[in-house]
Amino acid sequence: MHYSIENLPTYRLTDLPTYRLTDLPTYRTFTLMAEAKPYIAHFDLDSFFVSVEIINNPSLKGKPVIVGGYERGVVSTCSYEARKYGVHSAMPMKKALQLCPHAIVTHSSSGQYSKYSRWVTEIIASKVPLFEKASIDEFYVDLSGMDKFFGASKYAQELRKIITKETGLPISGGLSSARFISKMATNEAKPNGFLQVPPGKEKEFLWPLAVEKINGVGKQTEQQLKNIGLYTIEDIAKTPLNVLEAYLGKWAESLWQKSQGIGSAEIETNWEQKSMSHENTFDKDNTDISFLQSELVRLTEKTAYALRQDELMTGCVTVKIRYSDFETTSRQETIDYTALDDVLIAKVKDLFNKSYQKGRPVRLLGVRFNQFIPITMQMSLFDNNVEKLNLFKAVDDIKDRFGTKFISKAVSSKGKDSEHKKFTQHNKKKEAE
Distance between CA 89 and CA 22 in Å, rounded?
66
Distance between CA 94 and CA 381 in Å, rounded?
13
Residue tagged active-site, from 53, 81, 132, 138? 138
197: how many CB neighbours lie within 10 A of its CB?
22
Cβ atoms 365, 333 nearer than 8 A:
no
CA dihedral over 417, 335, 180, 311, signed as positive or negative: positive
Helices 241-248, 251-259: crossing angle, 10 deg rounding: 140
Strand order from edge to edge, sheet including 362-374: 275-286, 362-374, 312-323, 328-338
Q: Exposed e or buried b for every residue in 358-379, given b needs 16+ CB within 10 A? A: eeeebbbbbbbbbbbbbbbebb
Q: Exposed e or buried b for every residue in 131-156, given b needs 16+ CB within 10 A? A: bbbbbbbbbbbbbbebbeebebbebb
Which amino acid makes up residue 420? H
How many Cα atoms are found within 13 Å in the side-chain-facing hemisphere of 338? 22
Tell me whether residue 431 is one of the annotated catalytic residues: no
Helices 48-56, 110-127: crossing angle, 10 deg rounding: 110
Q: Single out the residue of 307, 300, 298 nearest to residue 338, CA to CA.
A: 307
Could you list the beta-strand ranges (E) of 324-416: 328-338, 362-374
Q: Single out the residue of 297, 378, 379, 386 nearest to residue 337, CA to CA.
A: 379
**Which three-class secondary structure state does DSSP give residue 120?**
helix
- Indicate the pairing of strand 171-176 with strand 194-196: parallel
Query: What residues are labeled active site?
Result: 138
